[in-house]
Amino acid sequence: MMTRMKHLLSTKDLDLEVVDRLFLRTEKLKRLRGILSREEKILQGHVVAILFWEPSTRTRMSFELAAYRLGAGVLELHPKESSVIKGETIDDTVANLHSIGCNFFVVRHPTSGEVARLAATQGRDTYFINGGDGANEHPCQALLDAFTIRERRKTFDGVRVAIIGDILRSRVARSNLHLLTRLGASCVVSGPKELLPKELEVGGVEIEKDPAQAVKNADVVMVLRLQRERAGITFDMTEKEYHEKFGLTAKLLQTAKPDAMVMHPGPINRGVEIDSDVADGSQSFILRQSENGLFMRMAVFEALRGELG
Ligand code: NCD
pLDDT of residue 124: 80
Distance 128 CA to ligand 1 centre (A): 19
Edge-to-edge order in the sheet of strand 127-133: 73-77, 47-52, 102-109, 127-133
Q: What residue's CA is closest to ligand 1, atom 12? A: 225
Q: For residue 138, which atom of ligand 1 is closest to its CA?
A: 4
Q: Is 138 in the pocket of ligand 1 (CB under 6 A)?
A: yes
pLDDT means per 10 residues in the chain (309 residues)?
82 95 98 97 97 96 98 94 92 95 97 96 91 97 98 97 96 98 97 90 91 98 92 86 97 97 97 98 98 98 88
Residues 6+ apart with CB under 8 A from 181: 187, 202, 203, 204, 205
Distance 305 CA to ligand 1 centre (A): 26
| Three-state secondary structure call for residue 21 | helix
- Mutation to probe ligand 1, out of 57, 59, 64, 270 (largest number of atoms < 8 A from CB): 59
Phi and psi at 102, nearest 5°, equal: -80, 130
Distance 30 CA to ligand 1 centre (A): 23
Please write the tens of the pLDDT for every residue from 26-81: 999 999 999 999 999 999 999 999 999 999 999 999 999 999 999 999 999 998 88
Phi and psi at 135, nearest 5°, equal: -95, 15
